[in-house]
Structure 1
Amino acid sequence: MKKINWVRKLTSRKLWTAVASFVSMMIVATGGTENHATQVTALIMAGASVIAYIIGEGLTDVANIEAEDPEQDQAGE
């Protein structure tokens, strides 16, 4: 069984576009206005941008820490 890469999924623009589209269509289908659906979609996409930025920065920080560790080990020997 394949392991799901949640970081990649949560930073996927395709995922967030699909979620925003689904939610906006549900709003319209349940009697909401298109203006309301547009506002909710904008909020979802803004939230997705923040999530992607936070995860991306975290991965960068982890990569930098891992890159620095071997240098510290060699300097201490």
Structure 2
Amino acid sequence: MNRNDILRKLSSRKFWALLAALATSVLTASGAGDNTVLHVTGVIGAVGACVAYMLAEGISDAARGTGGDKAED
């Protein structure tokens, strides 16, 4: 697995949804309260959205700078 594969996975909404679902399942199985599960899932979703946005912008900026595909804003 190279760097591009890792970046693509980190920018995937499916990956962050999977991580939120996994955290929800683990917290529920361990007896955490509904409030805790909701907070942790919300934080994972927010971090995932930020990471996906930053990586997507970085990739489009890099493509624009190197003469690759011209991504339009």
TM-score range, shorter chain: 0.7 to 0.9
Q: Percent identity?
A: 32
Residue-pair matches, total? 66
Give the unaligned 5+ runs of structure 2.
69-73
> Which of structure 1's runs of 4+ aligned residues deviate more than 2 A?
none
Q: TM-score, normalised by structure 1?
A: 0.77
Cα offset, 1:50, TM superposition: 0.5
Q: Which runs of 5+ in 1 are unaligned?
A: 69-77
Pairwise CA distance, 1:39 = 1.1
TM-score of the aligned structures, taking structure 2 as reference length: 0.81
Residue type of the alignment partner of 2:34: E
Larger Rg, first or second structure (1 or 2) = 1
Higher helix share: 1
Question: SS where residue 66 of structure 2 aligns?
Answer: helix
